[in-house]
Structure 1
Amino acid sequence: MPDKFAVAQALREIGALLELEGENPFKIRAYDTGARALEGLSEDLARVIAEGRLTELPGIGEALAKKIADLHATGSTDLLARLRARHPPGVLELLRVPDLGPKKIAALHAALGVASVAELEAACREGRVRGVKGFGEKTEQRILEGIARLHAREADRRVLLAEALAAAGPLLAHLRAVPGAEAVELAGSARRGRETVGDVDLVAASRDPAALAAALTGHPSVAAVLGSGDTKTSVRLGSGLQVDLRVVPPEDFPTLLHHLTGSKAHHVRLRGIARDRGFTLSEWGLFRLPPRERGAAAPAPEAAPDPAAKVGIASEAALYAALGLAYVPPELREDQGEIEAALDGTLPADLVEERDVRGMVHCHTTWSDGRASVEEMARAAEALGMAYLTVTDHSGSAGYAGGLDRDRIRRQWDEIDRVQERVSIRLLKGTEADILEDGALDWPDDVLERLDVVVASVHSRMRMDEDQMTRRLARAMALPVFKIWGHGLGRLLGEREPYACRVEEVLDALAGAPGAVEVNGDPRRLDLEPRWIRAARARGIPLVLSVDAHSVAALGYLRFAVTTARRGWARRGEVLNALPPDAFARAVRPVR
């Protein structure tokens, strides 16, 4: 049975095929709205359908709810079947090429008869695409680059962190309910919070591994059993994601969890430290080396560890302590300085946590391209325990997203004032302003002076060369207004590469002016990435953990912003929206 991400993908396919046929843009957008609502759903989709609550999700009406139920039950709908019948299968493949939208596909199909990725690649290499009206040599080259990224992505077979966690959640709950299961935890790159995940690793502590294996292979989300042995079971879900379960006795659980969490580079360093201290470390545990092997320059030949030499390890923290290190949180285990910090006592003990965040920042409403009203967003954030919410709809340059002009933003301010009288959460009036080609923001000073918060982002001319984009962003960051640099490098994981720019120069400009960097929690963005978060922190630039929410459900993206910030070693005191409302408002006020 397809999970919520597979259903969302099918909705987007319907929308894309309708766009190929020139269907009404509002109808097309409804399918994307439905897809986003499903991706942000925190509950089990089957339960929501069974209880008839699909229409409670933002943007989902009766007709769309029926299609979602059909897709969940059968993997298709009458409409999708008809659309697929009218278009060659290769056209669907073309929709997966990054930066190649339905309009371009339709134009290429009409002009060149292109109906597959292979045919498109051949047309580009033969120079035929540049001759189509609206295309050129640069576009032709970008299409080839997009095809190369598609091939690389398909070879890698990775999924977004959010998809992996959504798939793992029900499995973890199911396995933890099995009698005799003392612990079941997520491991692998998903536990470390990597942006994309190749497969899902689960580790369980139990003396009855057969019961856990049976529970996993019998779960309704499993499409195929790839293998099942005494301690390891591998399955493939309906979405295509592989899940591996390892089951060991409780006394071996901490070291196996640590081993399977990774990263490999982190483990290599730990094994070296263990040997220096007279131990050998593996997935099976920590063992004292025989005296003759201690201090050896190279590992001894592999042999079965002596059970009598095993060191009892009750937790991951105990494992690090046995090696003379402070505990290293999973998000930091990448051999990026965490070993040295754990040895010398400089590892941050106050990494930001989700409970530290007091306000939802970077939220869109129906005033631009959001799918919930100001009041709906406010009440949802309030229900999550937030103290404030920033309303940051698009500015006028983002016409494609219903951006606000001067008249509409003033009318929005009036609505925010009315809603503020009905809710206890603090509402801040903001904007997501466009960074124009020359580095200016697209609001005049008299509007900026009345705003509480400004998120400044690039939404156009994303393919400027490195010098041009660096100048553009540096000029914007050097502006004397306080701005939050929104989704800094504009990447869409698996779809769009980051902007070409010299990030350190942009951060240098921001460090000398009022501003902060956003850690964007949208699972497709997770931008800025950890290395640039660390670079910003090193310059004393504060952080804002944002949701970039276009729906109530997307407020749940906060967890991904927090995880990404932790991967960048972000501490609680460096995060502006960990401040209470008044302090946050003072800190981010654009004009002072």
Structure 2
Amino acid sequence: MLDKFAIAAALREIGILLELKGENPYKARAYENGAATVEGIPEELSQVIDEKRLTRYKGIGDALAAKIAELHNTGRSTLLEELRKELPPGIIELSQVPGLSTRKIQLLHDALGISSIAELKMACEIDAVSKIKGFGEKSQLKILEGIKEYESRDESILLVDARQLCRQLTDYLKFVEGISAVEVTGSIRRWKESVRNFNVLVCATRPARVFEALEKFPLVTKVLEKDEARMIVRLANGLKINLFVSSKDNLPYAQLRETGSNSHVEQLMEIAGAKGYSLDATGLRQGNRKIICASEKDIYNQLGLPYIPPELREADGELEEIASGNDFSDLICLEDIQGMTHCHSTYSDGRNSIEEMALAAQEMGMKYITITDHSPSAHYAGGVTIDKLKRQWEEIDRVQEKVEIKILKGTESDILDSGALDYPDEVLNQFDILIGSIHSRLKMDEDQMTRRLVHCMRLPQFKIWGHALGRLVLRRPPLSCRLEEVLDAAAESNVAIEVNGDPYRLDMEARWIKLARKRGIKFVISTDAHGIRDLQNLKYGVHMARRGGLSRQEVLNALPVDKFKQAVLPRRQGH
């Protein structure tokens, strides 16, 4: 009889194998969703199955319920066994090699018994693959190039994708017998924009049972390291899970050690040593005496430091900030944000109407929302012409009568090649809020781009510099410019800088936020929402701002609506 975690692991494997077989992706996803549901069933699973109540749980229909009951009662799955027989061994790992289809993996297994990337590489190197019918020397060379690409690839993934995968893992682990807590630590808890390894901290009494459960997680292909408290495994996509098991008494110390960057933890160990302590993942000690700390905050305080939020634990100036008197007590929080900024509607490339966007923001507790659709030059995004702009303002006025939230009339105006903005001044000066962003000619050289941006910064209107450096995390590098020169111009002009919460942008990054802060520049934390679901991007923007050390006083949309509107009004006195 299988427990619910073994059943969930089998369901996930079925889903992956169905997808590799080429089945309907919705069918494959149903098994993943079913696995998550099974893990979360709070009752005794055997009783739910006996009473035929599985279908009362979301995502479980009659067919899936029958397969769950089969796994529970017999320890086997006819479908899973059939898929394993039908598909070649090692297909989950081998499918990660670019250009290697399920059909080719089957041919390789039939001819040479290949079931891993290591075996495939060796077969290519001894010229065995080229002799298989349907391959040849060119195919063999292409496979070697694919393996090289696989081995040399940047194994980082986006934070948003890492958080989703971690939710699957934590949901899988938290119901394992003997586990009282599962926490994501490391770079994900620090909200780094991209992630290479998953650090997971488990509070449990029996590490061996935790390790056994982790090995059964469907995406795990290899155990890399294991000792009495730690296990490191490789996933099919090349990423690693670094899992550490702690006792309840040692949990705060393990949280501290597993969250901070290595350099940050080394700094803390040096501070501890200077005070006559020793610090590691099992405790803070003075000689043989363990200092009892109930939380991470207690450990920091014992070292003579204020609590350092996870986002700042990078050894990138946080201790210097403390020395200058900053205790991080006013670091911006999600609850501080009063207005949703940089929101698109169906007037340009948004997916929802102005009313739908306003009501969704209102439901989230926001006091105001800015509708900032694209300007005319952004023809690819349905940029709003002046005639269309008048119709939009009329609609905003009509919607305003229906909703409590204040709707501000704005634009995301393209910064043109010359550095000018996309509407004439008489139009720009009528907006409540003006965001200036670059969407074209992204590959200008450093001199050209610097001139373009400096010119825009010095325009008389107050503007918010949108997704400032134009990067797409892991896909497109930042604009080439002399950023400090641009920041100097911004500091001397009517400019605030956006911290863009789109999880594919997360622009600008923490190191540049810190440089802008030193110049006294204010910020806006935005969602860059193109639909109501994107309003949830706000949390990403807030955490990026926290990584840059922003206080609530430095964030304009932490202001109430009247003060915000006054702060961002494009038309300045004397212009």
What TM-score, normalized by structure 2, do the two folds share?
A: 0.72
Residues 577 and 422 (structure 1), Cα distance of their counterparts in 2 relative to 1, 3 Å cut: same
Aligned equivalent of 1:565: 545
1:258 paired with 2:256, answer yes
Q: Distance in 2 between matches of 1:44 and 1:369?
A: 35
1:375 paired with 2:363, answer no
1:423 paired with 2:365, answer no
**CA displacement 1:415-447 (0-9 Å, x = unmatched):** 222222222211111111000111100101222
Q: Distance in 2 between matches of 1:433 and 1:180?
A: 56
Aligned equivalent of 2:59: 50
Residues 589 and 153 (structure 1), Cα distance of their counterparts in 2 relative to 1, 3 Å cut: farther
Q: Where do residues 108-123 of structure 1 align in structure 2 (5 Å cutoff)?
A: none
1:551 paired with 2:560, answer no
- Partner SS state of residue 199, structure 2: strand
Whether contact under 8 Å (1:360, 1:388) holds in the other structure is yes
Aligned equivalent of 1:581: 561
Whether contact under 8 Å (1:327, 1:342) holds in the other structure is no
Cα RMSD for the two superposed structures: 3.4
Q: Distance in 2 between matches of 1:580 and 1:2?
A: 47
Whether contact under 8 Å (2:342, 2:372) holds in the other structure is yes
Q: Distance in 2 between matches of 1:174 and 1:396?
A: 49
Deviation at 1:266, TM superposition (A): 1.0
Question: Of residues 456, 459, 465 in structure 2, which corresponds to 1:485?
Answer: 465
Aligned equivalent of 2:192: 194
Whether contact under 8 Å (1:328, 1:342) holds in the other structure is no
Q: Distance in 2 between matches of 1:51 and 1:484?
A: 48
Deviation at 1:46, TM superposition (A): 7.3
Residues 225 and 568 (structure 1), Cα distance of their counterparts in 2 relative to 1, 3 Å cut: same
Whether contact under 8 Å (1:325, 1:343) holds in the other structure is no
Residues 226 and 540 (structure 1), Cα distance of their counterparts in 2 relative to 1, 3 Å cut: same
Aligned equivalent of 2:303: 323
Letter in structure 2 aligned against 1:587: A
- Partner SS state of residue 200, structure 2: strand
Whether contact under 8 Å (1:453, 1:588) holds in the other structure is yes
- Partner SS state of residue 529, structure 2: coil
Deviation at 1:287, TM superposition (A): 2.3
Q: Distance in 1 between matches of 2:12 and 2:491?
A: 47
Aligned equivalent of 2:437: 457
Letter in structure 1 aligned against 2:199: D
Aligned equivalent of 1:303: none
- Partner SS state of residue 50, structure 1: coil
Residues 45 and 412 (structure 1), Cα distance of their counterparts in 2 relative to 1, 3 Å cut: farther
Whether contact under 8 Å (1:483, 1:590) holds in the other structure is yes
Number of aligned residues: 454
Letter in structure 1 aligned against 2:490: L
Question: Of residues 221, 226, 240 in structure 1, which corresponds to 2:223?
Answer: 226
**CA displacement 1:247-305 (0-9 Å, x = unmatched):** 1111111112111112111122122111111122222322224xxxxxxxxxxxxxxxx
Q: Distance in 2 between matches of 1:534 and 1:225?
A: 40
Whether contact under 8 Å (1:516, 1:544) holds in the other structure is yes
Q: Distance in 1 between matches of 2:168 and 2:196?
A: 18
Q: Distance in 1 between matches of 2:381 and 2:58?
A: 30
Deviation at 1:346, TM superposition (A): 2.5
Residues 184 and 239 (structure 1), Cα distance of their counterparts in 2 relative to 1, 3 Å cut: same
Letter in structure 1 aligned against 2:196: G
**CA displacement 1:536-586 (0-9 Å, x = unmatched):** 111111110011111221111111111110111000111011111121111
Whether contact under 8 Å (1:338, 1:347) holds in the other structure is no
Deviation at 1:153, TM superposition (A): 10
Residues 184 and 433 (structure 1), Cα distance of their counterparts in 2 relative to 1, 3 Å cut: same
1:163 paired with 2:143, answer no
- Report which of the two structures shows the higher radius of gyration computed on alpha carbons: 2
Question: Of residues 201, 207, 210 in structure 2, which corresponds to 1:209?
Answer: 207
Gaps of 5+ in 2: 1-10, 21-25, 38-56, 62-82, 84-97, 102-137
Q: Distance in 2 between matches of 1:344 and 1:450?
A: 42
Deviation at 1:340, TM superposition (A): 3.2
Q: Distance in 2 between matches of 1:481 and 1:51?
A: 56
Question: Of residues 339, 352, 356 in structure 2, which corresponds to 1:359?
Answer: 339
Deviation at 1:173, TM superposition (A): 4.2
Gaps of 5+ in 1: 11-33, 53-73, 75-87, 92-114, 123-146, 290-307
Letter in structure 2 aligned against 1:159: I
Deviation at 1:154, TM superposition (A): 5.2
Q: Where do residues 343-354 of structure 1 align in structure 2 (5 Å cutoff)?
A: 343=323, 345-354=325-334
**CA displacement 1:391-424 (0-9 Å, x = unmatched):** 1111111111111111111111122222222222
- Partner SS state of residue 268, structure 2: helix
Residues 176 and 2 (structure 1), Cα distance of their counterparts in 2 relative to 1, 3 Å cut: closer
1:524 paired with 2:533, answer no
Question: Of residues 420, 427, 442 in structure 2, which corresponds to 1:440?
Answer: 420
**CA displacement 1:459-500 (0-9 Å, x = unmatched):** 111111111111100110111111100011111111111111
Letter in structure 1 aligned against 2:241: V
Q: Distance in 2 between matches of 1:458 and 1:331?
A: 28
The percent identity for this pair of structures is 46
